[in-house]
Structure 1
Amino acid sequence: MSIEEIPLTAENQLFTIQLGGQKLRLRLIFRDSGGWILDLLNLNDTPLVTGIPLVQGADLLESHSGLGFSGGLWVVSDDEAHEYPTKANLGTLSHLYFVSRY
């Protein structure tokens, strides 16, 4: 098992990253009362999974295991008072980690 922090900033973003040997595009958008939402896309920007809210305490990919992801995504906050990443603390006090299953 390995743990890798995904580098994020507190702004809407779209970038390519390799996670568990698979290249993906990650799109994060702040949706006001909906908070931060994650979309996973292939390299052609075709959606694989969309509308994943960034919440703590659960593997964000667990219900999408049929897509062949080799690990899970977990949100962790440095401050227990913030259950969800805020508009301003994503990447500084709230972090997104990829945890490989192998």
Structure 2
Amino acid sequence: MSTITEIPLTPSQACVFTITLAGVLYNMRLTYNVAQNGRWILDIGDANQVPLVAGIPLVSGVDLLAQYAYLSFGGSLVVTTDRGAGEVPTFDGLGATAHLYFIAD
């Protein structure tokens, strides 16, 4: 049985935070990149703030960590929006009408 955890986010606000996923501490940074057609971008680092992956665009309906399986995150990271799969969270929607979830293996 998978455990689903919502990563709490505040709408309209870029953020840097630490979070434990599948028993491992990570540093995450979410920024809104206007130059990329207005997209939220995720960077993930280890507990020592060493970058693991950077520049992941938040798009709903896909496992954002699938291409990084070799890093053994221990689960999937997915975005849902009220507008459906394949949609991009809006600037003021992430944390309100769009949500980020970690689904542990």
- Do structure 1's residue 67 and structure 2's residue 71 form an aligned pair? yes
How far is the alpha carbon of 1:44 from its aligned partner? Answer: 1.8
1:28 match? 30
- Structure 2 CA distance, aligned partners of 1:15 and 1:47? 14
- Structure 2 CA distance, aligned partners of 1:82 and 1:52? 14
Q: Determine what percentage of the aligned residue pairs are the same residue.
A: 47
How far is the alpha carbon of 1:34 from its aligned partner? Answer: 4.4
Report if aligned partners of 1:18, 1:24 keep a CA contact under 8 Å in 2.
Answer: yes
- Do structure 1's residue 16 and structure 2's residue 18 form an aligned pair? yes
Please, what TM-score do these two structures have when normalized by structure 2?
A: 0.90
- State the number of aligned residues: 101
- Structure 1 CA distance, aligned partners of 2:45 and 2:100? 17
2:52 match? 48
- Structure 2 CA distance, aligned partners of 1:82 and 1:66? 24
Gaps of 5+ in 2: none
Report if aligned partners of 1:34, 1:53 keep a CA contact under 8 Å in 2.
Answer: no
Instruction: Pick which of 90-99 and 75-84 moved more.
Output: 75-84
